[in-house]
Amino acid sequence: MPTLLEPACFGAIELANRVVMAPMTRSRADTAGNATDLMAEYYGARASAGLIVTEGIAPSESGKGYCRTPVLDSPSRLAGWRAVTDAVHAGGGKIVAQAMHCGRVAHAANKAPGAGTVAPSAIRAAGLMYTDGDGMQPFDEPRALSASEIGVVVNEYRRFASLAMEAGFDGVELHGTSGYLPAQFLCTGTNRRSDGYGGSVEGRIRFPVEVLGAIVEEIDSGRTGLRICPGNPFNDLVDDRPEDVEETFRAFLAAIRPLGLAWLHVIRRHEANQGIYLDNLALARELHDGALIANDSYDGPEATKDVSEGVCDAVSFGRHFLATTDLPARLAGGRDPESFDPRTLYTPGPLGYTDLSRC
Ligand SMILES: Cc1cc2nc3c(=O)[nH]c(=O)nc-3n(C[C@H](O)[C@H](O)[C@H](O)COP(=O)(O)O)c2cc1C
């Protein structure tokens, strides 16, 4: 079995080591959703990761949920992203773009005027979200997508994948968890549709299956990955029956297996969901043939153990990368990562982002 610091091959992407930087929204795009020079500096500084998964990037204005988050929906966005990918490649790293459509987890104040908030069904998520102008606000009441509009959204993801390649990314990861649009389709509590995109398990998995099909058609399976966390209740995602989760994800993973995705990025779970514990990593190993990236609350020794025992092929670290740019070297030397300042996670500007002097 390989070790954490050995190279790996995920489809068409060669990784120098198996320490992956997990996707983290940091709200340092400009207010129009363009990637900034600060972002290029931030990602470039972490190029020693075997692979970087970017923060969630919206495939359309409507798919944007949070303030100052980036969008990749037209050639006018390419220059900003090209600076990011160039900085990472100059440091010898690899970087994939995470496609994140927030669906109902959004507020109109955080997106361009007129960009609507959409979801499989018109059910508002419980909770509040931050806006720059008015502080914490309730989530928007979403509008249910019509079947033909769903086709439009699938094509927005297709366009995203094509633009990502033009911008120099090494691949695309579909964000399929944490209560965002694909997860809203999968979950029985948020998908109340009675057409071909809801109702049965086959209906609920159809949207993310079509999105992945479109991305693969555009950029090939060797550059496509998916992030999941079966049973994750984040952003008010609750299934009607606890057994819905395993049933849904078994059907979903079986349906996309023929696509041959290069990697599955799985957030493991430590707690039971509505009384049922599901081992997400074991489920992924059973139903996926490509590489497996494991995530959540790993430290160096546990990551080393899981990779060397074949539980996963790589481990992604989120918070440890916030204030530690050279995490693979730290782990190799058995040294602890730096602590980060939670107050600067989403604030504009360099403090706590590229300027780590006060962390
Ligand atoms: C500030 C912050 C922003 C995050 N943004 C995203 C995101 O945009 N997309 C995503 O899939 N996960 C996101 N996550 C979740 C992380 O990718 C990761 O799953 C989580 O931090 C647990 O890993 P860790 O224990 O190594 O930090 C975010 C986490 C943090 C701390």
> Each residue of 220-278: pLDDT tens digit?
999 999 999 999 999 999 999 989 999 999 999 999 999 999 999 999 988 888 788 99
How many Å lie between the centroid of ligand 1 and the Cα of residue 146? 31
For residues 120-135, average pLDDT: 98
Which amino acid would we find at residue 37? D
Residue range of the domain that includes 76: 8-344
How high is the mean pLDDT of the chain?
Answer: 97
Q: Which of these is catalytic: 157, 180, 197, 298?
A: 180
Cα 246 to Cα 279: distance, rounded to the nearest angstrom: 10
Res 24: pLDDT:
98
Best residue for ligand 1 mutational test, from 19, 25, 330 (most atoms within 8 Å of Cβ) = 25
**Is residue 63 one of the residues assigned to a domain?**
yes
Rounded to two decimals, what is the model's pTM? 0.98
For residues 193-222, average pLDDT: 98
Q: 215's torsion region: left (phi>0), alpha (psi -120 to 50) or beta?
A: alpha
Please give all residues whose beta carbon lies within 6 A of any atom in ligand 1, as ranges. 22-25, 55-56, 98, 100, 175, 178, 227, 267, 295-298, 317-320, 345
Name the domain count of the chain.
1
Cα 149 to Cα 279: distance, rounded to the nearest angstrom: 35
**Is residue 359 one of the residues assigned to a domain?**
no
**Is residue 133 one of the residues assigned to a domain?**
yes
**Is residue 113 one of the residues assigned to a domain?**
yes
**Is residue 135 one of the residues assigned to a domain?**
yes
The domain that holds 331 is classified in CATH as 3.20.20.70
Tell the residue number behind the tokens 């798919």, with chain if given: 63
How many Å lie between the centroid of ligand 1 and the Cα of residue 187? 21
From 236, 226, 234, 230, select the one nearest 277 (Cα to Cα).
Answer: 230
How many Å lie between the centroid of ligand 1 and the Cα of residue 85? 20
Res 270: pLDDT:
82
From 229, 135, 123, select the one nearest 174 (Cα to Cα).
Answer: 229
Res 358: pLDDT:
75
The tokens for 196 are: 């071909």
How many Å lie between the centroid of ligand 1 and the Cα of residue 178? 10
Res 274: pLDDT:
79
Which amino acid would we find at residue 324? T
**Is residue 1 one of the residues assigned to a domain?**
no
Res 271: pLDDT:
85
**Is residue 350 one of the residues assigned to a domain?**
no
Is 130 a catalytic site residue? no
**Is residue 187 one of the residues assigned to a domain?**
yes
For residues 75-88, average pLDDT: 98
